[in-house]
Amino acid sequence: GDYNQKIDYVFKVVLIGDSAVGKTQLLARFARNQFSLDSKATIGVEFQTKTLIVDNKTIKAQIWDTAGQERYRAVTSAYYRGAVGAMLVYDMTKRQSFDHMVRWLEELRGHADQNIVIMLIGNKCDLGSLRAVPMEDAEEFAQRENLFFMETSALESTNVETCFLTILSEIYRIH
Beta carbon nearer to ligand GDP, 12 or 94: 94
Q: What is the 3-state secondary structure (H, E, C) of 17-63?
A: CCCCCCHHHHHHHHHHCCCCCCHHHCCCCCEEEEEEEECCEEEEEEE
Among 11, 12, 22, 24, binds Mg ion (CB under 5 A): 24
Question: Do residues 166 and 148 touch, judged by C-beta distance below 8 A?
Answer: yes
CB of 70 to ligand GDP, least distance (A): 7
Q: Which stretch binds ligand GDP (CB under 6 A): 34-42, 74-82, 107-115, 131-139?
A: 34-42
Q: Binding to ligand GDP by residue 155, rule CB under 6 A?
A: yes
Indicate which of ligand GDP, Mg ion, none lies near residue 20 (CB less than 5 to 8 Å, by partner kind). ligand GDP
Q: Which of 12, 22, 30, 98 binds ligand GDP (CB under 6 A)?
A: 22
What is the strand order of the sheet 85-91 is part of? Answer: 47-54, 57-64, 9-16, 85-91, 117-123, 148-151
Residue 86 Cβ, how far from ligand GDP at the closest point, in Å? Answer: 14
Q: Is 124 in the site for ligand GDP (CB under 6 A)?
A: yes
Shortest reach from residue 118's CB to Mg ion, in Å: 19
**Which residue, 163, 160, 164, is CA-closest to 35?**
160
* Shortest distance (Å) from residue 96 CB to Mg ion: 17
Task: State which residue, 24 or 97, has the beta carbon closest to Mg ion.
Answer: 24
Q: Which of 154, 163, 167, 168 forms a contact with ligand GDP (CB under 6 A)? A: 154
